[in-house]
Amino acid sequence: MCYKIVCSLLLCLGSVRLAYSSSSNNLAGYEGYTKYTVQHDDDSAFHYMVDLQTNDTEVDFWLLTRNMSVLTVGPQRKAQFESRLSQLGVQYQTQPLMDLMASLEGNSTYPDDDVDECHSGDCESQRPHNRQRRQARGFFSRYPRYNEILSFMSGLASRYPQFCRYESLGRSNEGRHIAGLSISLNQRVRPRRVAYIQAAAHGREWITSQTVLYLAYELLSNLRAFQRVLHDVEIFLVPLVNPDGYEYTHTTDRFWRKNRRRFVGHSCTGVDINRNFGNHWNYQGASQNLCSEVYSGTSPNSEPETSAVVRYLQFNRHRVKLSLDVHSFGKFIFYPYGYAKNTVPPTVGTLRAVAQRAANQITRYRGTRYTIGTSASILYEASGSLDDFAYGNLGIPLSYTVELPGDEFHVASFDIIHVCKETFAGFIEFIRHVSLY
């Protein structure tokens, strides 16, 4: 009976075709905002951008590298910001934010011409499998809400009980489950090694959850094909580390980054989970300003979302050999350390080689190319990330942050499945290397 309920739910999900905006209110307040793409080749402009991101609460950085920044600025700050850019002598392009979001909504339809075929004598036997594929295709053509994600995860566990376990690592600030999936060939025997993969530490990075859920779906749907990958390896997936922030981006503010921690007596809300882990906490690229987008919290691992991840990793520290933190966007694979530019781990050669192999597998799908290195050398110094903590504090030998493709946080619906498929190839390559430890 439970199986039928889950299947019915998934069928409903697959039949729904949603446009970009899941709520007409999640862009309220952004009228008059402008998206800036700024090219800066000298240190003075770069350091100005770093200072803005860390200390200015009225600008929102989408991407900050050493030679380019993407950010949004409100109408009150537009003239002042452009004047400063002119003083710095940098080139920039602008686009009204609401125009951008309208164009993305227009590109968020999904074609229905991808029909599953079967030979005349095999249609009956293939129909259940084809139905599941169509249902999954529907799920990966849009951005599901928190409850839909949990239903999808529990549905996988119900369908594959011998190979998949659904559990909760804890609860968020607002009481939502931080749900995980454990995948292995035999749930009765605990494999020696664990590959840990998490996503959506930042609420607005919707595509990240879909790539991790797609990994779970493809593995469980094709267990025979991935027996060698799964041999002696447990894959533990947390597709939604920041469920409160994720839901908030659907209902209220599409570009919300942090969690939803509230502070008594203060109007500003939230902690950046990606600055809250306890490795060189608040050292660089983080802020103690409550209103900052990179506010690092009251102390290391202070947030329930962060501490839930830390508890799991610490308890399994001798088994976890791979830690992947999936973010969006930029097409980067980062390895430690991110807190300081000229600091690299002793195993940097191995870390880089494995990342390059994963990037090569991603490229094979449709040519997407990733840049590999430390976030401090490619972007800017930033402390308190999971990859630094997993490697530096827990000794997890393969520790990375992956920044998915895109030019903004929203990937058009027709492209979700392609990002999922190419990223899947990279995930599998990372997981293959777990067997070396």
DSSP structure class, residue 109: -
Query: At residue 435, what is the residue type?
Result: S
Q: Using DSSP, how many helices (H) and how many strands (E) does the chain show?
A: 14, 12
255, 204 contact by CB (below 8 A): yes
Q: What does the alpha-carbon distance between residue 109 and residue 18 come to, in Å, rounded to a whole number?
A: 8
198, 271 contact by CB (below 8 A): no
Q: CA dist 60 to 20, 49, 71, 370, 383, Å?
A: 21, 11, 5, 24, 19
Please compute Rg for the chain using Cα positions. Answer: 21
The residue behind tokens 């203060």 is: 266
Q: Are strands 233-238 and 193-199 parallel, antiparallel or unpaired?
A: parallel
Catalytic residues: 403
Tokens at residue 72, please?
């949004």
72, 52 contact by CB (below 8 A): no
Q: What does the alpha-carbon distance between residue 399 and residue 437 come to, in Å, rounded to a whole number?
A: 13
Q: What does the alpha-carbon distance between residue 59 and residue 292 come to, in Å, rounded to a whole number?
A: 10
